[in-house]
Amino acid sequence: MKKPKVFVTAQIPDEGLKMISQHCEMQIGNYDGVLPKDVLIDKVKGVDGILCLLADVIDKDVMEAAGKQLKVIANYAVGYNNIDIEEATKRGIMVTNTPGVLTETTADLAWALMMSIARRIVESDKFVREGKFNGWQPMLMLGTDIYGATLGVVGFGRIGQAVARRASGFNMRVLYYSRKRAPEDVEKQLNASFVDLSTLLRESDFVTLHLPLTKETYHLIGEEELRMMKKEAYLINTARGPVIDEKALVKALKNKWIRGAALDVFEKEPQIEPELLELDNVILTPHIGSASYTTRTKMSVMAAENLVKALYGEIPPNLVNT
Ligand code: DGY
């Protein structure tokens, strides 16, 4: 039997690639940065499966260019807003993602960002490297206590809950807002209270976002919401950039409506709003939520398994368009 043809848009950990190459004729996109659309369109011609990144926009043009034999699009991410699901479903193409394996790693990063912005770690590091540290000072780099503060978790799925779980060690009060209220036992276990978004924004010292990007969550945090937050509060985003109206956030940071922000994702990723680069009260990281060796390896195996199973007539374990 002829092996199915697949295109993997970028180098991913070997474990996944090994599995794919055993079962498929594989080509890998070797491009520094996001694969340009014309290259993507060219590379997918005639393939049965695509393994893509969250930065690859897989729309009608790409599916059309691939051809009628295209069976599966395996996303190397839990979020799949980069894929036109409706179009894929219409064409009978299976779409899969990588849920679960990156939950704890992304929650770790949300915490790393929260602690770094609250305790001015990045600013302090820069200060030392610039040779400005000339002795202990009572008023040097004062920050905000995390211990005992109120944590507001927006989006209470796997990652939101993992972030909340870590808060117990810091004796925090946890509020959450979500489309669906969590079961009572989960609320109890995490000591988390369900509130509406405006209550969460008004009462939290740290607001951390953990929702998918959808029509409903686009610009969920805009000028009105930022103005509701406490002046001493921080906003953390490890979800998707467009959940925040970035222009409004710049205004909020400049005018000190909030004390700071830490962003791992951006509205026009990988472009960064130039004004954000000028501000000291924001930390910027390059979408590294799931970036640990272990997690990226697990993601590669999971995406490969989804791809191969779909190509060999099985229902892939992480099918999103059932
Ligand atoms: C995802 O999987 O959606 C994450 O954003 C990757 O880091």
pLDDT single digits (tens) 262-293: 999 999 999 999 999 999 999 999 999 999 99
Q: What is the pLDDT of residues 34-60, one digit of tens each?
A: 999 999 999 999 999 999 999 999 999
Distance 78 CA to ligand 1 centre (A): 5
Residue 219 designated active-site: no
Answer whether 77 contacts ligand 1 (Cβ < 6 A): yes
Considering only the top CATH level, what class is 103-284?
alpha beta
Distance 53 CA to ligand 1 centre (A): 9
284 has which bridge partners?
263
Q: Give this prediction's pTM.
A: 0.96
Which among 48, 136, 131, 39 is positioned nearest to 92, based on CA atoms? 48
Ligand 1 atom closest to the Cα of residue 80 is 3
Answer whether 54 contacts ligand 1 (Cβ < 6 A): yes
Instruction: Name the CA radius of gyration of the chain, rounded.
Output: 21
pLDDT of residue 4: 98
From 240, 259, 296, 305, active-site residue = 240
Distance CA 21, CA 281 (A): 46
Residue 269 designated active-site: yes
Distance CA 62, CA 43 (A): 10
Distance 322 CA to ligand 1 centre (A): 21
b/e map 248-280, b = 16+ CB within 10 Å: bbbebbeeebbbbbbbbbbbebeebbeebeebe
Ligand 1 atom closest to the Cα of residue 238 is 5
- CATH for 5-99+293-311? 3.40.50.720
Distance 287 CA to ligand 1 centre (A): 8
Ligand 1 atom closest to the Cα of residue 265 is 5
Query: Would the CATH topology of 5-99+293-311 be identical to that of 103-284?
Result: yes
Distance 138 CA to ligand 1 centre (A): 40
**Domain coordinates of the chain in residue numbers?**
5-99+293-311, 103-284
Which parts of the chain sit beneath pLDDT 70? none
Ligand 1 atom closest to the Cα of residue 77 is 2
pLDDT of residue 290: 98
Sign of torsion, CA 223 234 211 40? positive
The protein residue whose alpha carbon is closest to atom 4 in ligand 1 is 77
- 10 Å CB burial of residue 147 (0-12, 13-18, 19+) is exposed
From 64, 87, 223, 269, active-site residue = 269
Answer whether 200 contacts ligand 1 (Cβ < 6 A): no
